[in-house]
Structure 1
């Protein structure tokens, strides 16, 4: 299947500048394709991942993907649809962000491995020595202000105002496309639906500089919305990050496994590398056996493995099973820290204390009477063991690595207790 046909089946194409021309080019040769991300943060979130899944598909189809890290464009900021200007970051922060994102990209695209054909670039490399006069004469002269004002992303900001810095962003991104076309044999730029104006501006610059017959193409992806009309990738806790320090692999897995039945097949097509036959089988199971959530589990496993690797996937599955069954004894302290990150959390000293009083002092139980009643009724578990003795003593040596104690009240209510010594 031609890569363009596959992208259409997966629902991954919003607009193309020349559909037939790009399809024909993909038949004739391995094409250079690029997608960029500005170094405005130290980690990508899954919203950033959306266009790079398309770039990954080009890589797997044998084409030549180029990742552009926006060290230059990230220092000024893309004029987003928001009314306020971006806060400019320091050069040091942008450099740190670029290094962090580059590391994430190398992992996702297996850059540096023997069969990898990925190239990573930073647009700061070809802009940092550019003088103001060179910028105006070589590039600014090719841009009509009226045309720039008509671009959707700029037009949406005219009422509230836009600085010259952000207004000039599309010139810098156009310069990127031109540079990669001339020096990296790149013919295609991929971007989100909101990048259409920037992409077409780049194509116009290429044709002015390289001739009207220059073979360059633009492709945008649809805006990813959930079935309820809200934007994909956001949770009550905020963005879902690729950095495991910001969003743990367990949290990452849970995000995907909790997707709505109405959305999961769309996400399987878009985010996984499963073929049509496998996805069709899972789509049928969504209809006939929705309670098993097999499609969601497959989606979660594929995405967690892709972003974090097989080892972290197995840890996420282990934590999930432990929480479902209540058998938390098999978990390590580090797995406890990951799986219980967002559970109600309390601190307690490492000194021994009777369980009845301990639960009340922490605030897990409202009174000693209720505490005793729940213990006698078998409603309290400590580290996975049901406790029914009223004289049970909580000891640090019975904890997870003298760091955590897990309390479960009833079947589903978990509490994380962090042990703190008097010297801490």
Structure 2
């Protein structure tokens, strides 16, 4: 546990700065500007009103619900806030921990949901867990995650940051330009500067200066142990043979503080995540309500990617389905979607593509008619998802290889 010991040493060192939260009547310390409105910090360059993207009249929660992309929401008020003409666009974030060099297919749905928020006029932030990745999220696990050394985490962090930026930036460029964002405002993936519409952040940037004593005194005292133990992710670990470590037990507070920090300093008011993240997301909304004593923070979870038989979608005989072309070629990625069973393909078209529901319905009806060309729906699914992940060039590469090889039976390795 060398990395954990080093992290504990860092956290226990005497703080050289004021408490990041002032316990006096729960008011905020001058170290952080008090959040009175959902705006970026004053140091962020401001754009003119004309340059701000206009909020779409389409309700993103309604769209997500129609496509089966909503599992739970912390408040149904989120639905009305999405189209309130008097509110500014929402700022929405989704987190990705660097537990491997590449994200897997299960992570893709988070980027799809972020993209739907962008398409409806809201601002999105992808957060790389440079700090939380050193702890390990127990959600959905029955055993503690293996510890990664600092060098591995740094390598993973860099790779995932570049991948998330490339996919989401490419997906949002056309939408952003149509909505009034200036091309030069886009975030440089090597910096932490915000663009007007889309950004990638790393939670290590704010965690590196926080000590354990500060955290326990200013955040830990607002956390109720009974509530923490009632979280599904914790209960599952407690029932396992190994139990749960203190490190993983506190993970929900770390993710909760991420939401608190971003709500307070960046005006982020919505966190999204898979259904197994519900406990971590509500930990954040609870901290915001208790410490900042304000409302307006929302959480939304989407379903995990499962096959109709309940098995995890995104696994093959050769292992995980990776999003990085260095770990799985666009061709093999494309081929994986051609293997989707007929009973699942329509659902995955709704979950993982941006095709109009009417077009998906037509594909569904065509599958049931005589003369249907086998795998036509799967081919459309493969094309749309491969284009989203690997771009037009990656899709062209996959289709060219498919045509050249004409596999009767393919094997993922």
Same-fold call, TM cutoff 0.5: yes
| Corresponding residue for residue 187 of structure 1 | 269
Give the alignment partner of residue 77 of structure 1, picking from 136, 139, 150: 136
Q: Please, what is the CA RMSD of the aligned residues?
A: 2.0
**CA separation in 2, counterparts of 1:107 and 1:311?**
13
Q: Is the 8 A contact 2:353 2:384 kept in 1?
A: yes
After TM superposition, give the deviation of residue 180 of structure 1 in Å. Answer: 0.9
1:314-355 per-position Cα deviation (integer Å, ceiling 9, x unaligned): 1211221222289xxxxxxxxxxxx99869xxxxxxxxxxxx
Distance 1:72 1:189 in 2: 18
Contact 1:33 1:65 in 2 (8 A): yes
**Bigger relative contact order, structure 1 or 2 (CA pairs below 8 A, ≥6 apart):** 2
Query: How far does residue 68 in structure 1 lie from its aligned partner after superposition?
Result: 0.7
TM-superposed CA distance for 1:312, in Å, is: 2.0
Instruction: Tell me what 2:62 maps to.
Output: 5
Structure 2 match to 1:129: 209
* SS in structure 2 at match of 1:126: helix
CA distance in 2, matches of 1:342, 1:277: 33
**2:219 partner SS:** helix
Matched, 1:298 2:380: yes
Q: Work out which of the residue numbers 373, 383, 398 in structure 2 matches 1:316.
A: 398
Gaps of 5+ in 1: 327-338, 344-424
Residue number in structure 1 paired with 2:32: none
Return the match for 1:26 from 69, 82, 85: 82
1:286–1:293 contact (8 Å) kept in structure 2: no
- Shift of residue 128, structure 1, vs aligned partner: 0.8
Equivalent in the alignment of 1:107? 166
Paired position in structure 1 for 2:30: none
In the TM superposition, residue 290 of structure 1 has moved relative to its aligned partner by 4.3
**Matched ranges for 1:398-409 at <5 A:** none
Q: How far off is 1:59 after superposition?
A: 1.2
Which residue is 1:203 aligned to?
A: 285
In structure 2, do the counterparts of structure 1 residues 325 and 137 end up closer, same or farther at CA, with 3 Å as the change threshold?
closer
- SS of alignment partner, residue 41 of structure 1: coil
CA shift for structure 1 position 106: 1.2
Cα deviation for residue 17 of structure 1 reads 0.9
**Equivalents in 2 of 1:228, 1:137: separation in Å?**
47
Structure whose CA Rg is larger: 1
Change over 3 Å in CA distance of 1:279–1:103 after alignment to 2: same
**TM-score of the superposed pair, with normalisation by structure 2:** 0.76
Map 1:21-420; keep pairs closer than 5 Å: 21-28=77-84, 29-110=88-169, 114=183, 117-159=197-239, 160=241, 161-211=243-293, 213-288=294-369, 289-324=371-406
| SS at structure 2 position matched to 1:27 | coil
Q: Deviations over 1:116-153 (max 9, x none)?
A: 62111111111111111101101111101111011110
C-alpha distance in 2 between matches for 1:56 and 1:258? 25
Indicate how the Cα distance of structure 1 residues 193 and 219 shifts in structure 2: closer, same or farther if over 3 A, else same. same
Q: What CA distance in whole angstroms lies between the structure 2 residues aligned with 1:100 and 1:342?
A: 23
Is residue 106–residue 304 contact of structure 2 (8 Å, CA) maintained in 1?
A: no
SS of the residue corresponding to residue 165 of structure 1 reads helix
Task: Please give the alpha-carbon distance, in whole angstroms, between the structure 2 residues aligned to 1:285 and 1:340.
Answer: 26
Aligned to 2:205, what secondary structure does the other structure show? coil
Displacement after TM superposition at 1:175 (Å): 0.4
**Residue 93 of structure 1: CA displacement?**
1.5
Cα gap change, 1:82 to 1:110, in 2 (>3 Å): closer
The residue number in structure 2 matching 1:366 is none
Partner residue in 1 for 2:28: none
In the alignment, structure 2 segments of 5+ residues that lack a partner are 1-57, 174-182, 187-196
CA contact (8 A) 1:261 1:290 kept: no
Deviation at 1:90, TM superposition (A): 1.5
CA offsets per residue over residues 292-324 of structure 1, 9 Å max, x none? 322111110111111111122112112212222
Deviates more, 1:112-121 or 1:133-142: 112-121
Per the normalisation by structure 1, the TM-score is 0.74
Q: 2 CA distance for matches of 1:235 and 1:220?
A: 25
